[in-house]
């Protein structure tokens, strides 16, 4: 048919190397250290389609070779990227890709360049005391998390495939099987890339990086009188939108260090993440976070703190030298950072209104925010499952809601006053109930990647059964519709799930 593009065989796929236009101290050229006896665990057909690959021609053994570092794509020039960052609030100059390699960029049929990044590819100059490997456990979680985020419509890195092997490494005193994830995203540039150049006083190269980012990711900024200023503004806006989506869906990132923040506003390097089953404002998903720095309720403030670190790096970019110019630059950047709260609140309120079936009405802003805040307090006090509650509102007529609440919470009566206020607010809408419920079902998922689901997939995989990974992939890519497979995942998490402990190696 006219206009269709013939799918590219994997062996013919060719990569480009645009990032290497920058000075070579931005990276180190490294060849991957291939895993022994690689085997394909899973392939994400949605990602394959974006890349213009035909699943019917993808042979598992061939994909395992490319996805494990045993074989390189045409024209691939693997590099480990250098960056720094603030980790748990302290600046660390000794960072970089310690276990991942940027293989190159692929031009998809949609005209978008996407990075291919192989995680678990072996040691680099930035591995420090690490072995450069990723284990199957953490790789399964990252692979499924990318699919889950994409299914919800939250900007995220994804992965084409997950590959296991017979190699093992020691984690927490025990041998674990190694794995690799072939990560795919338009951008692997982090806040930490800018921090590396700023804190090492490489201001000319900071300008080069800024221009590279503008040319590739923010081309409209080039038309501005002050392109770097417009660039930081748009990064702030995207970051505010991203964290608003995390808060609306109960996602706990776990390690919001600046080196884990993407300059295009994607969920990136989330480590010991979790989607909360029942709401807990103080939820911490990383047992190494002893100070609760990255607790759920603190994520918007931490995102702003991270943006402050990034904005500091833009001081030399937004104006020239001199005390007055520096003062002006500081004032401009402080103004942009002050706008974060407004961006965040507007995006968050809009998302929560969608989940509750409410229209955007500036006259209702204060009342709607109070309604939402009170709901979260109720959900926390009653330890009610977030996903089940919002889905109940999306599927159940008003007259049946109180009765059905008894099936998902022990104190259904506690919600009665809130439900009365909610339905009084709905009267303002004067909307068609059936259409409203249909719209709500498109934003309130039936399935989330609950911790216990990932844990079950991991335990089966360690017994040689990879089937659960692929079954979950089906649910997570399409979380708003019921699936006949794995119907048990429609319900609440089992009691044992609360005992799952996560660390940075998770």
Query: Catalytic amino acids?
Result: 259
Nearest to 492 by CA among 456, 459, 450: 450
Burial 120-156 (b: 16+ CB within 10 A, else e): bbbbbebbeeebbbbbbbbbbbbbbbbbbbbbbebbb
Question: With contact defined as beta carbons under 8 Å apart, do 111 and 151 qualify?
Answer: no
> Which tokens is 383 given?
């330890």
Give the pairing of strands 174-185 and 113-119.
Answer: antiparallel
DSSP classification of residue 224: S
Q: How far apart are CA 181 and CA 271, in angstroms?
A: 14
Q: How far apart are CA 192 and CA 126, in angstroms?
A: 14
- Name 283's Cβ contacts closer than 8 Å, sequence gap at least 6: 252, 274, 276, 295, 296
Residue 171 pairs in a beta bridge with 174
Question: With contact defined as beta carbons under 8 Å apart, do 234 and 281 qualify?
Answer: no
Question: With contact defined as beta carbons under 8 Å apart, do 445 and 478 qualify?
Answer: no
Alpha-carbon 297 to chain mean position: 17
Handedness of CA 329, 333, 334, 335 (dihedral sign): positive
Question: With contact defined as beta carbons under 8 Å apart, do 72 and 102 qualify?
Answer: no
Question: With contact defined as beta carbons under 8 Å apart, do 337 and 308 qualify?
Answer: yes
């Amino acid at each position: 048919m006219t206009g269709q593009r013939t799918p590219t065989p994997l062996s013919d796929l060719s990569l480009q190397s645009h990032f290497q236009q920058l000075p070579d101290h931005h990276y180190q050229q490294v060849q991957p250290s291939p895993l022994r006896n690689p085997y394909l665990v899973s392939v994400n057909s949605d990602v394959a389609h974006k890349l213009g690959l035909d699943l019917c021609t993808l042979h598992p053994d061939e994909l395992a070779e490319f996805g494990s570092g045993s074989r390189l794509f045409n024209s691939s020039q693997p590099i480990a990227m250098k960056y720094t960052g603030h980790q748990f609030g302290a600046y660390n100059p000794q960072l970089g890709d310690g276990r991942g390699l940027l293989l190159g960029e692929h031009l998809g049929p949609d005209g978008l360049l996407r990075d291919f990044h192989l995680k678990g590819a072996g040691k680099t100059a930035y591995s420090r005391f690490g072995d450069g490997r990723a284990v199957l456990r953490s790789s399964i979680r990252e692979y499924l998390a990318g699919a889950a985020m994409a299914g919800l419509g939250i900007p995220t890195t994804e992965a084409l495939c997950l590959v296991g092997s017979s190699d093992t490494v020691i984690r927490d005193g025990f041998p674990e099987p190694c794995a690799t994830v072939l990560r795919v995203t338009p951008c692997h540039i982090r806040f930490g890339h800018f921090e590396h150049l700023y804190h090492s006083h490489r201001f000319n190269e900071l300008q080069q990086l800024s221009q590279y980012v503008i040319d590739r990711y923010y081309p409209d900024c080039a038309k501005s009188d002050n392109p770097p200023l417009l660039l930081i503004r748009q990064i702030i806006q995207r970051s505010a939108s991203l964290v608003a989506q995390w808060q609306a869906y109960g996602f706990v990132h776990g390690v919001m260090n600046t080196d884990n923040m993407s300059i295009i506003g994607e969920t990136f390097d989330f480590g010991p993440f979790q989607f909360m089953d029942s709401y807990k404002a103080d939820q911490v998903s990383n047992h190494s976070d002893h100070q609760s720095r990255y607790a759920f309720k603190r994520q918007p403030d931490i995102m702003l703190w991270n943006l402050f670190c990034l904005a500091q790096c833009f001081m030399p970019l937004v104006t020239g030298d001199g005390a007055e110019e520096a003062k002006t630059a500081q004032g401009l950047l402080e103004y942009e950072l002050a706008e974060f709260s407004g961006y965040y609140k507007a995006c968050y309120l809009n998302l929560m209104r969608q989940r509750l079936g409410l229209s955007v009405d500036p006259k209702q802003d204060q009342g709607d925010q109070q309604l939402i805040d009170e709901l979260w307090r109720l959900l926390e006090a009653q330890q009610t499952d977030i996903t089940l509650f919002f889905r109940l509102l999306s599927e159940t007529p008003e007259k049946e809601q109180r009765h059905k609440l008894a099936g998902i919470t022990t104190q259904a009566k506690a919600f009665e006053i809130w439900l009365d206020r909610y339905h009084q607010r709905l009267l303002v809408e004067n909307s068609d109930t059936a259409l409203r419920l249909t719209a709500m079902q498109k934003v309130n998922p039936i399935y989330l990647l609950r911790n216990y689901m990932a844990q079950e997939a991991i335990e089966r995989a360690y017994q040689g059964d990879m089937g659960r990974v692929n079954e979950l992939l089906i649910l997570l890519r399409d979380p708003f519709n019921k699936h006949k497979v794995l119907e048990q995942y429609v319900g609440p998490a089992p009691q044992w799930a609360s005992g799952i402990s996560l660390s940075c190696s998770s």
